[in-house]
Chain A
Amino acid sequence: MDRKIRLAGSLAAAAALIEGALYLAQARIVRPAGTPTGLMAASLAQEGGYLPDPNRKYPERVLWGDEHVHTGWSVDAGLAGATLTPEDAVRFARGEMVKSNTGQDARLQRPLDWIAVTDHSDAMGTVGELTGGNPEMMADPTVKRWHDMMGQGVAQATAATLELVRAQATRRMPKVLMDEKWVASAWQKTVDIMEKYNEPGKFTAFISYEWTSNAFTGENLHRNVIFRGNADTTRSLTPLTTWATGDPAALWAWLANYEKTTGGKVLAIPHNGNLSNGRMFEERQYDGKPLTKEWVEARARWEPLYELYQFKGLGEAHPALSPTDEFAGGELWDTGNLAGITKQQGMLKTEYWREALKSGMRLQRKLGTNPFKYGAAAGTDTHTGLSASEENNFWGKLRSSEPSPDRWEHLFQKEQSYVRKDWTLAAAGQMGVWATANTREAIWDAMKRRETYATTGPRITLRFFGGYNFGAADANADRIVSTGYAKGVPMGGDLKAARTGQVPTFLIAAMKDPMGANLDRVQIIKGWVDNAGKTHEAIFNILWSDPATRKLVGGKLPAVGDTVDLATATYKNSIGATELVGSFKDPTFDPGQRAFYYVRVLEIPTPRWTAYDAVKYRVKMGPEVPMKHQERAASSPIWYNPA
């Protein structure tokens, strides 16, 4: 054993030497001659900042997950040929090897910390057939007899139960009853699987489902329903379907009823307003009636987060609504609704997150509550059971978009006015949560207080605090966490009205994905309502790489550059920054105006999944297919509330 350790030690030393040598060589090439090495002067003054502080009460490590995963138990996924189960989905998320729906070995490069499997409640598994199956059940004479016995007093009921137990033991159970048992328990089975794989402190498997309202003609009003609790408060319920109504207010009533009767807690995450043809953030009720106080309160109460990034397009912002945002284009699905019915230009206004954040504050002036006070969530919306948003390990949206040489040109949907192919899928959707522990309770609580951010896939670390007592010196990577929590509020929080002369300061720290691309820039995006009730937005570039050579011109920043080599689907981290840390004091702050601020971080350009496919399968794709992009992260906002 001793010898082994010594051997390991010398191997490590050798490895360190080799790496050191590489570093020396690399550093000499990268560094322009004569650059001063100001290291010691700067570093000697640094405070220790040893982490972790044993008394800390704040979240220390960001927990990565996916709040939107479908398996073969979702009826549409099943129709499309998905056979993976919720169990497969969880195992895959935990980092295990899984056979994909097309029989390929699938594995994540890095496991997730948590997952919410959200199969559609409408016809989940075969739940729909439970009610339809009842006459069938009664057609079986044995079952009919048992059923009648159940209604004839305790003795008869017991006798029937015994018969039933015997039948099961001897495998003479009427098939129809086994059927019923399964169908009734599709949800219960899901709950049981999540219970089995949920390991507090290690991996969180939420109990969850998707409520899938398509209004009348494919307007996407979908919501992911995520429970805080365990089987005891969820197993016996039946998820709400949309058979009776697609009105989101019915879901809110169901959620309220759930909390009241079980003492459990639950929230809902809407998504894909981009496919709602104007209905996701429309300023009227489902049936067309004007908004009421109760309606805005219910929406705010049950929906703390909105899903910004996923396979079916990015929903953060749209260039038609944010013409000054040079990064609002790309990965947009803005040609129709879920059923492919053509989108009219006017519909965009009530489909995107940033616009809703602005409108919500305007509505708050009138109705007293902001119905669109949405933090940032992200997921994949995979319908394969495989939550894979890595560009070089993209497993597609449906079974038909699992890896294959020609998947890029597969038809996704023929819309009224656009032929949508699979190359338009975005390999997007990772959600970072600042939770104090990897448990259902802690992650759910962080979602509820909106201490979350969305990325298109990369694991960028992002901290964001706002407060009135920060100084420029607080923008220090070693101290930002303890200072941020001690003197301000984190992402998702609220700033109280400023006292005379006070201006809020924001602290931001972003670190590149340790296994990904460098960072281009950090932006603060502000939205506000003026005194006339009109909404506005502004984008501030506040931190960026190579500040010595990249200077702001009229608020705009020169592009970071591009190291992507499409011939090999690779890029180099020879441009960009590894960490960007700084502060922002709003030069346009008006203490009387309602406002929100969120952070967006952009990576340097990297190959898109289509570029990896083109190299891997040696295929040439059409000129319409994007091959690179700048991946990003967007934080939940911090809201400023005037007196």
Chain B
Amino acid sequence: MLRDPLLHFLLIGLALFLLYGLVSPGEADSRRIVITQSQVDDMVRQYQSTWTHSPTPAEIRGLIDTYIHDEIVYREGLSMGLDKDDAVIKRRIRQKYELIAEEEDHSAPTDADLDAFLKAHPEEFLRPATVSFDQVYFDATTTSPEAVGTVRVALQKGANPATFGQPSMLPRHVTDGEIDLVGREFGDNFGKRVAIAPVDVWVGPLMSGIGVHLVRVSSRAPPVLPPLDQIRAAVEREWESDRRSRSSLDDYRRARTGYEIIIRAKMP
């Protein structure tokens, strides 16, 4: 019976366990809270950065009390296993991990990097097309199409546009308006129409989101791709954003290769 290897094994295990209990400082440490000067300095620094003045001695004692309170309840909670399977904790750690992954590559882009990025994504950096125009507005529900037609003829013959149309909150004249802003102010379709209307001729009726318009475009500028030195900040921003999203994903992919993933559930 005493020769049973399993019993030997168990006895050795018990001995080790008892020995560990005798020499391990763990229990004592988990029941001891030491506040060092450097910790207090950090609390004070934190307080100062929030309040931009130093805490009073009473406030410092309060900070230390709060710290001790947190620490004790935190340790009690840990011993109850409250940190296990907690979605907030997992999510926090993921967030920290991803930020570290994103920050690992700190190299600044070279001019060549930026140039290449600009060439690859010109549409992101175009200065939008602009248009200048006059418009005369009519309320579609109270104005007859014939009347609008008559006004158009008069305008084409050189009549003063200020003497026609109905009052509106829409501007009668737009100078160098970006097409998408014109679209936001008058409605998308109107923006598109004005973008291609002939220059220096009264045209219409054009429908906007508000009503009916006669329009004369006076000038237009096409979209322009500015040289790198004029938009360096924007290109750098986009380049960095692009790199960041790629590096975080790369890191995850790398990490994932080290895991065996077994799904024992029905996949929807």
Interface residues of A (CB under 8 A from B): 8-9, 11-13, 15-16, 19-20, 22-24, 26-28, 30-31, 35, 37-40, 42-44, 46-52, 60-61, 72-73, 75, 78-79, 81, 87, 91, 110, 125-126, 129-132, 134-135, 138, 147, 171, 175, 178-179, 182-183, 196-197, 236-241, 243-244, 254, 257-258, 261-262, 459, 461, 463, 476-480, 509, 511-516, 578-579, 581
Contact = CB atoms under 8 A, between A and B. Distances in A.
A37 B143 contact: yes
Contacts of A239: 50
> Interface extent on B, as a size class?
35 or more
A590 B241 CA distance: 60
Given A23-B212, A478-B172, A514 B186 contact: yes
22 contacts: A9-B198, A19-B205, A26-B140, A27-B140, A28-B145, A39-B143, A39-B166, A48-B160, A49-B162, A49-B167, A78-B88, A78-B91, A125-B95, A129-B92, A132-B70, A134-B39, A182-B99, A237-B49, A240-B50, A463-B169, A511-B210, A578-B140
B67 A476 contact: no
Given A8-B196, A39-B147, A79-B87, A178 B169 contact: no
A78 to B, nearest CB: 5
B51 A257 contact: yes
A53 B8 CA distance: 99
Contacts of A581: 167, 169
A245 B103 CA distance: 34
A46 to B, nearest CB: 6
B203 A13 contact: yes
A514 B168 contact: no
A511 B170 contact: yes
Interface string B203-228: 11111111110000000000000000
Contacts of B74: 132
Contact of A134 (B42, B151, B167, B172): B42
A579 B163 contact: no
B208 A51 contact: no
B168 A147 contact: no
B210 A579 contact: yes
Contact of B184 (A50, A51, A110, A182): A110
B173 interface: yes
A46 B166 contact: yes
Contact of B38 (A132, A147, A238, A477): A147
Contacts of B96: 126, 179, 182-183
A52 B175 contact: yes
Contacts of B198: 8-9, 12-13
B162 A135 contact: no
B15 interface: no
A179 B92 CA distance: 12
Contacts of B208: 514
Contact of B206 (A19, A72, A241): A19
A52 B171 contact: yes
A61 B182 CA distance: 11
A240 B52 CA distance: 11
Contact of A476 (B46, B165, B167, B203): B167
B237 A197 contact: yes
B103 A20 contact: no
A79 B88 contact: yes
Given A19-B206, A23-B140, A49 B172 contact: yes
Given A37-B147, A79-B88, A237-B50, A514 B185 contact: yes
A115 to B, nearest CB: 16
B144 interface: yes
A23 B145 contact: yes
B91 A79 contact: yes
B141 interface: yes
Nearest to B170: A511
B169 A131 contact: no
Given A16-B197, A579-B210, A254 B166 contact: no
B91 A52 contact: no
A130 B141 contact: no
B54 to A, nearest CB: 12
A78 B95 contact: yes
Contact of A514 (B173, B205, B210): B210
Interface in B134-148: 138-148
Contacts of B163: 43-44, 46, 48
The 3 nearest A-B residue pairs measured at CB: A514-B209, A48-B162, A9-B198
A480 B166 CA distance: 14
B100 interface: yes
A75 B88 contact: yes
Interface string B142-164: 11111110110000000010111
Nearest to A150: B38
B173 A52 contact: yes
A579 B169 contact: yes
Contact of B193 (A16, A39, A125, A257): A16
Nearest to A148: B38
B210 A578 contact: yes
B115 interface: no
A509 B169 contact: yes
Nearest to A480: B169
A84 B193 CA distance: 37
Contacts of B205: 16, 19-20, 23
B267 to A, nearest CB: 16
A341 B115 CA distance: 58
Given A15-B193, A516-B209, 10 more contacts: A13-B197, A15-B196, A16-B193, A27-B144, A37-B143, A46-B164, A78-B91, A126-B96, A130-B46, A461-B169
A241 B196 CA distance: 54
A507 to B, nearest CB: 12
B104 interface: yes
A78 B185 CA distance: 36
B211 A578 contact: yes
A196 B103 contact: no
Contact of B187 (A20, A60, A236, A514): A514
A16 B204 contact: yes
Contacts of A9: 196-199
Given A20-B204, A178-B103, A578-B139, A47 B87 contact: no
B167 A87 contact: no
B53 A477 contact: no
A47 B39 CA distance: 73
**Which of B38, B67, B139, B162 gathers the greatest number of chain A CB atoms within 10 Å?**
B38
Contacts of B70: 132
